[in-house]
A and B are shown apart, each in its own frame.
Chain A
Amino acid sequence: IPTKQVKPRVNKANTGVETAGVKHSLNPFDELSVEEAVRLRERHTKKQSPIKVDQILALSAGGPKCADTLRTAMAMGADRAFHVDVGDSPDGGPEPLTVAKMLQAVVKQENINLVLLGKQAIDGDQGQTGQMLAGLLGWPQATQASKVEIKDESGTVEVTHEVDGGVETLRAQLPMIITTDLRLNEPRYATLPNIMKAKKKPLEKKTLADFGIEDKKRLKTIKVTEPPARQGGGKVEDVDGLIGKLKELGAL
């Protein structure tokens, strides 16, 4: 029986920058992953998808705040959650390769056959974890998915994904890795009853060591700086002014 796992990576603040105390939320791409997992299950119930989604496991690695994001995922429909506590670190938490290795261990341990991840976290913007995990497991991958369709009971999956200049459709067999793009779906809001229910769902606390993974840092942060500020050049009165200014700036 297939199992689904979703890994919301938290929109974790700061990489040596001054973002402490900012609002944390589920990384938007991971919300899409949770939503898609839940939809795959619903499609089966409505007999639109041939494979039953037995279980949805949400997983997040990070500081104590991760627990909240995992509750959100469960309120959206995930069955249970793992919180891999790596402590709050100022340098953005474990690197994608470490996260991928941890997920590899989780996949094996929990007998998972589809992993949905966001295409990138909006803090680190690396966009690597899904592909790395696919490489480590030797599974097919589809990145930046905008449509996921399970075609038959043997687990043939068709994924339409975004490439430069358009979309491309790929076909692969489960088990596989899919990373989500913004256009995949519209994540639902967790309703109050579901939020209440989510509080009773199991949330297991884990550590990297539980999976035999060491938080090895291969990249050393030298510095984090502000980008050069861009100064607005002011406004013009009319279209002629606009053309004049653009000429002056050498843009026309």
Chain B
Amino acid sequence: MLPLARNSVLRAARAQILPSTRTTTAISSAAFARLLSTLAVLEQRDGKIQPSSLSAIAAAQKLGGPITAFVAGANVKATSAAEAAQIKGLDKVVAVENEAYEKGLPENYAPLLVENIQKGEYTHVVAGHSAFGKSLLPRVAALLDVQQVSDITGIESEDTFVRPIYAGNAILTVQSTDPIKILTVRGTSFQGVETSGGGAAIEAGSDPKAPLQTEWVSEELAKSERPDLATAQRVVSGGRGLKSKEEFDRVIVPLADTLGAAIGASRAAVDSGFADNSLQVGQTGKNVAPQLYLCAGISGAIQHLAGMKDSKVIAAINKDADAPIFQVADVGLVGDLFEKVPELTEKLKNQA
């Protein structure tokens, strides 16, 4: 209380003594806001904006200044660009229609972005830290001779950003001295974009038509009706303790169904083939921050904690009372998961 009061008294006094200083700051920050201009690179697939893109826009909004969204692919003007134009707070949408960009391959997408960044004289370029952003933006940064800042979780000012390092065991605040700031942003840290009510104009971007050196052969995506792991409100996650894929499916899936939750897994569970790669939560998998993260048979290695410790409430079921997961769990239950999880599922079902 006391330091706070002193601080404000001091500030008030300073303001009276040095009114000119205040004015100057105000002017320069206003000038700065005018100069700042951000390009949010949107990921689209089959004409639909991908959720990671919304976090790019949320971060752009935090930076202040006008925001342009960028989207490229087959027939995007009528589809994903039109969808983007509805997002609140965008100045315009730059769209490049060309089948060649549909898969978002960095070999031709990076030169495309570079040309549009230079043309638009943007000071900031933001994309989600998804597979698309991770693969594309460093290439763009290198072409622009800029050192990118990856996976940011906070914006302190137009040139100062916060990002976790060492699997989230330390938080680094860095200042970029580059003329263009290239950023990828962590989805769980930037949210709250309104996807309707906007009315941005769609403009055609320039297309350098750089040759594509890679050929897209095929893809295999895990199909599911469940909420997307990265953005789900609830996540039920299983680890090595599940012992087999059959047990994983028998124990974890019904609980996730009952809770309407996405399914996650530890690296051990993925490596043992219990669950698909795309479900891995952790430093080298997905980062999640749901309202509820309920895990069973996960010991809580730091690499796993890196991916989920920003969850609102963490609940853990593990038979080892000394498992590190209990040090971060808000609620811990020591017991055999093969008994406890089905019991929990039953009881939750009966309550619903």
The residues of A with any CB-CB pair to B shorter than 8 Å are: 15, 17, 19, 92, 95-97, 100, 119-120, 122-136, 139-144, 146, 158, 162-173, 181-183, 217-227, 230, 232-243, 245-246, 249-252
- Cross-interface CB contact of B214 among A133, A140, A246, A249, cutoff 8 Å: A140
CB distance from B79 to the nearest CB of A (A): 20
Which chain B positions have C-beta within 8 A of A100? 142
What CA separation (Å) do A173 and B214 show in the bound complex? 8
Q: Given that A135-B140, A165-B222 are known contacts, is A127 also in contact with B134, CB under 8 Å in the complex? A: yes
Which chain B positions have C-beta within 8 A of A220? 174-177
- Cross-interface CB contact of A142 among B173, B214, B314, cutoff 8 Å: B214
B139 contacts A132, C-beta separation under 8 Å:
yes
Q: Tell me if B253 is interfacial: C-beta within 8 Å of chain A.
A: no
CB distance from B170 to the nearest CB of A (A): 5
B291 contacts A251, C-beta separation under 8 Å:
yes
CB distance from A252 to the nearest CB of B (A): 7
B277 contacts A15, C-beta separation under 8 Å:
no
Q: Which of the listed residues B166, B170, B213, B313 has the most CB atoms from chain A within 10 Å of its own CB?
A: B166
Which chain A positions have C-beta within 8 A of B132? 163-164
Q: Tell me if B52 is interfacial: C-beta within 8 Å of chain A.
A: yes
User: Interface code B191-225, partner A: CB below 8 Å = 1, 0 otherwise?
Assistant: 00000000000000000000001111111111000
What CA separation (Å) do A250 and B153 show in the bound complex? 25
Instruction: Output the nearest chain A residue to B215 by Cβ-Cβ distance.
Output: A171
Q: Given that A172-B215, A173-B213, A235-B333 are known contacts, is A167 also in contact with B277, CB under 8 Å in the complex? A: yes
Q: Tell me if B36 is interfacial: C-beta within 8 Å of chain A.
A: no
- Cross-interface CB contact of A239 among B172, B314, B343, cutoff 8 Å: B343
The residues of B with any CB-CB pair to A shorter than 8 Å are: 50, 52, 105-107, 110, 130-132, 134-143, 145-151, 160, 163-178, 213-222, 230, 267, 271, 276-278, 283-284, 291-292, 309, 312-315, 317, 321, 326-335, 340, 343-344, 347-348, 351
Which chain A positions have C-beta within 8 A of B335? 238
Q: Given that A125-B283, A226-B170, A227-B168 are known contacts, is A170 also in contact with B216, CB under 8 Å in the complex? A: yes
Q: Given that A131-B106, A227-B164, A240-B347 are known contacts, is A17 also in contact with B170, CB under 8 Å in the complex? A: yes
Which chain A positions have C-beta within 8 A of B340? 239
A251 contacts B217, C-beta separation under 8 Å:
no
What CA separation (Å) do A136 and B143 show in the bound complex? 6
7 additional A-B pairs beyond A218-B147, A238-B335, beta carbons within 8 Å, are A19-B166, A132-B139, A143-B134, A169-B217, A235-B334, A242-B333, A243-B348
Which chain A positions have C-beta within 8 A of B135? 131, 141, 143-144
Q: Which of the listed residues B218, B271, B326 has the most CB atoms from chain A within 10 Å of its own CB?
A: B218
Which chain B positions have C-beta within 8 A of A158? 217
A166 contacts B221, C-beta separation under 8 Å:
yes
B215 contacts A170, C-beta separation under 8 Å:
yes
B150 contacts A166, C-beta separation under 8 Å:
no
What CA separation (Å) do A225 and B153 show in the bound complex? 14
A221 contacts B174, C-beta separation under 8 Å:
yes
A128 contacts B141, C-beta separation under 8 Å:
yes
B330 contacts A125, C-beta separation under 8 Å:
no
B332 contacts A236, C-beta separation under 8 Å:
yes
A232 contacts B221, C-beta separation under 8 Å:
no
Q: Which of the listed residues A92, A139, A142, A243 has the most CB atoms from chain B within 10 Å of its own CB?
A: A243
What CA separation (Å) do A120 and B131 show in the bound complex? 13
- Counting from the closest, the 7 A-B pairs by CB-CB distance are A166-B221, A131-B138, A135-B142, A128-B138, A132-B142, A233-B330, A135-B139
- Interface CB pairs A-B, < 8 A, 15: A15-B165, A96-B147, A97-B142, A97-B148, A125-B165, A125-B167, A131-B134, A131-B136, A135-B143, A170-B214, A218-B178, A220-B175, A221-B172, A222-B173, A250-B313
Which chain B positions have C-beta within 8 A of A162? 131, 277-278
Which chain B positions have C-beta within 8 A of A122? 166-167, 283
Instruction: Output the nearest chain A residue to B325 by Cβ-Cβ distance.
Output: A232
What CA separation (Å) do A52 and B145 show in the bound complex? 35
B332 contacts A135, C-beta separation under 8 Å:
no
Which chain B positions have C-beta within 8 A of A173? 213
What CA separation (Å) do A165 and B223 show in the bound complex? 8
CB distance from A62 to the nearest CB of B (A): 16
B173 contacts A225, C-beta separation under 8 Å:
yes
Which chain A positions have C-beta within 8 A of B277? 146, 162, 166-167, 183
CB distance from A172 to the nearest CB of B (A): 4
Instruction: Output the nearest chain B residue to A234 by Cβ-Cβ distance.
Output: B332
B333 contacts A238, C-beta separation under 8 Å:
yes
Q: Which of the listed residues B130, B321, B335 has the most CB atoms from chain A within 10 Å of its own CB?
A: B335
Which chain A positions have C-beta within 8 A of B217? 158, 168-171
A168 contacts B219, C-beta separation under 8 Å:
yes
A251 contacts B315, C-beta separation under 8 Å:
yes
A230 contacts B216, C-beta separation under 8 Å:
no
Instruction: Output the nearest chain A residue to B276 by Cβ-Cβ distance.
Output: A166
What CA separation (Å) do A223 and B326 show in the bound complex? 30
Q: Given that A144-B131, A166-B278 are known contacts, is A242 also in contact with B142, CB under 8 Å in the complex? A: no
What CA separation (Å) do A246 and B276 show in the bound complex? 28
Q: Which of the listed residues A119, A126, A234 has the most CB atoms from chain B within 10 Å of its own CB?
A: A126
What CA separation (Å) do A171 and B216 show in the bound complex? 6
CB distance from A9 to the nearest CB of B (A): 14
B142 contacts A131, C-beta separation under 8 Å:
yes
A136 contacts B214, C-beta separation under 8 Å:
no
B344 contacts A239, C-beta separation under 8 Å:
yes
Which chain B positions have C-beta within 8 A of A245? 315, 330-331
- Cross-interface CB contact of B328 among A95, A97, A230, cutoff 8 Å: A230
